[in-house]
């Protein structure tokens, strides 16, 4: 997957994302359908929305949903980190930013995901920051984009309070979308999405775990829980009968049970 402008359609599907229903609706409306049915939007002369800023606590699915949007739309995906952009490109000034957007246009439809957007704006005004300033101005020029042909920009931040208002104007990151910590039902939906590809024993009550035992967990915490429970299960099966010479394992026994979740919790 891209870090420097090379892109592919990501493999994250809507089914891999739990909760976040409101975002799914928004992105279907503003990105997925316009990419899939461009003629209809053209016929109505719709001014498309192309800039979005996801904000909210860490680990709640901002990156994941941006990837799922690109996948659902069949669009390419470029993942750029704010801090990297600064460190890497400052010396090369505005040209690099222009090249980035140029590449996105070349492989459009394309979703550019700018993680840690706040890193860009908080560097403004620091000592010797004139280069940063020029880089930012070029960035804003590209966002304003006279020529945005099927290039959508999704920014993400945990610190919306420090974002320069210049970024939030319509046409730039004009649509602010909150990605909250999940509630009990959303936690259950996330846990099921994460556990979908795991051999979970049918007796495990994922709803109960998510609702009763994971208060305050983010999606990333839930992913970590499943990973820990998986390790517990693997550990149990690989260390039992360790001294036996017989190393044939019946993989139908390889399931993650309630006890493993309890140990993980
Ligand atoms: P950060 O602000 O720290 O960059 P983020 O909001 O971008 O975090 P993600 O990187 O999308 O969070 O989530 C981290 C991991 O947590 C995902 O790879 C996934 O395993 C899990 N996760 C988070 N939210 C969800 C969700 N809504 N559905 C399913 N998995 C989730």
- Bigger pLDDT: 263 vs 139: 263
pTM of the predicted model as reported, rounded to 2 decimal places: 0.89
Task: Kindly report, residue by residue over 161-181, the tens digit of the pLDDT.
Answer: 888 788 888 778 889 999 999
Measured distance CA(159)–CA(163) in Å, rounded: 7
Average pLDDT, the chain: 86
- The answer to whether the CB of 119 is under 6 A from ligand 1 is no
Measured distance CA(213)–CA(37) in Å, rounded: 44
CB neighbour class for 228 (10 Å; exposed up to 12, middle 13-18, buried from 19): middle
- At residue 205, does pLDDT exceed 50? yes
**Residue nearest ligand 1's atom 16 by CA:** 220
Task: Kindly report, residue by residue over 208-252, the tens digit of the pLDDT.
Answer: 999 989 999 999 999 999 999 999 999 998 887 665 655 556 788
Tell me the two tokens of residue 51.
């800039």
**Residue nearest ligand 1's atom 20 by CA:** 223
Nearest of 192, 177, 264 to residue 227 by alpha carbon: 264
pLDDT at 3: 46
**Residue nearest ligand 1's atom 17 by CA:** 220
How far does residue 197's CA lie from ligand 1's centre (Å)? 17
Q: What's the chain look like in SS3?
A: CCCCCCCECCCCCHHHCCCCHHHHHHHHHHHHHHHHCHHHHHHCCCCCCCEEEEECCCCCCHHHHHHHHHHHHCCEEEEEEHHHHHHHHHHHHHHHHHHHHHHHHHCCCEEEEEECHHHHHHCCCCCCCHHHHHHHHHHHHHHHCCCCCCEEEEEEECCHHHCCHHHHCCCCCCEEEECCCCCHHHHHHHHHHHHCCCCECCCCCHHHHHHHHCCCCCHHHHHHHHHHHHHHHHHHHHHCCCCCCCCCCCHHHCCECHHHHHHHC
pLDDT at 9: 83
- At residue 128, does pLDDT exceed 70? no
pLDDT at 81: 84
Measured distance CA(225)–CA(219) in Å, rounded: 10
pLDDT at 2: 42
- The answer to whether the CB of 10 is under 6 A from ligand 1 is no
How far does residue 124's CA lie from ligand 1's centre (Å)? 28
pLDDT at 138: 79
Strands 51-55 and 151-157: parallel
pLDDT at 251: 81
**Residue nearest ligand 1's atom 15 by CA:** 220
Q: Which residues contact 217 (CB under 8 A, 6 or more apart)?
A: 182, 187, 210, 225
Task: Kindly report, residue by residue over 86-118, the tens digit of the pLDDT.
Answer: 666 555 657 778 888 888 988 989 999 999 888
pLDDT at 163: 82
pLDDT at 1: 38
Instruction: For a ligand 1 pocket test, name from 58, 60, 177 the mutation site with the most ligand atoms within 8 angstroms of its C-beta.
Output: 60
- The answer to whether the CB of 153 is under 6 A from ligand 1 is no
pLDDT at 171: 74
- The answer to whether the CB of 63 is under 6 A from ligand 1 is yes
Q: What's 30-75 look like in SS3?
A: HHHHHHHCHHHHHHCCCCCCCEEEEECCCCCCHHHHHHHHHHHHCC
pLDDT at 44: 95
**Using alpha carbons only, how large is the chain's radius of gyration in Å?**
22
| Structure confidence at residue 184 as a pLDDT band (50, 70, 90) | very high
Is the peptide bond between 209 and the residue preceding it cis, with omega within 30 degrees of 0? Answer: no
Flag the least confident range among 1-10, 28-37, 39-48, 159-168.
1-10
């Amino acid at each position: 997957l891209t870090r420097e402008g090379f892109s592919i359609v990501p493999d994250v599907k809507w089914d891999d994302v739990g909760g976040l229903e409101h975002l799914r609706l928004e992105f279907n409306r503003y990105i997925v359908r316009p990419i899939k049915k461009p003629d209809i939007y053209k016929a109505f002369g719709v001014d498309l929305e192309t800039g979005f800023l996801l904000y909210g606590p860490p680990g709640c699915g901002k990156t994941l949903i941006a990837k799922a949007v690109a996948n659902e739309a069949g669009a390419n995906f470029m993942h750029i980190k704010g801090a990297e952009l600064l460190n890497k490109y400052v010396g090369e000034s505005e040209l690099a930013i222009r090249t980035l957007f140029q590449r996105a246009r070349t492989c459009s439809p394309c979703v550019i995901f700018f993680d840690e957007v706040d890193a860009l704006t908080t560097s403004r005004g620091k000592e010797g920051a004139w280069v940063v300033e020029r880089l930012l101005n070029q960035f804003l020029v590209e966002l304003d984009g006279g020529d945005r042909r099927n290039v959508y920009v999704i920014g993400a931040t945990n610190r919306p309070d420090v974002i320069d208002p210049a970024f939030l104007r319509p046409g730039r990151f004009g649509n602010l979308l909150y990605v909250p910590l999940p509630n009990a039902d959303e936690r259950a939906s996330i846990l099921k999405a994460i556990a979908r590809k795991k051999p979970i024993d049918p007796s495990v009550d994922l709803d109960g775990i998510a609702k009763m035992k994971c208060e305050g967990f983010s999606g990333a915490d839930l992913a970590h829980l499943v990973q820990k429970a998986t390790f517990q299960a693997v550990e149990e099966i690989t260390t039992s009968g360790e001294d036996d010479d017989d190393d044939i394992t019946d993989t139908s026994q390889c399931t993650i049970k309630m006890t493993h979740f309890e140990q993980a919790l």
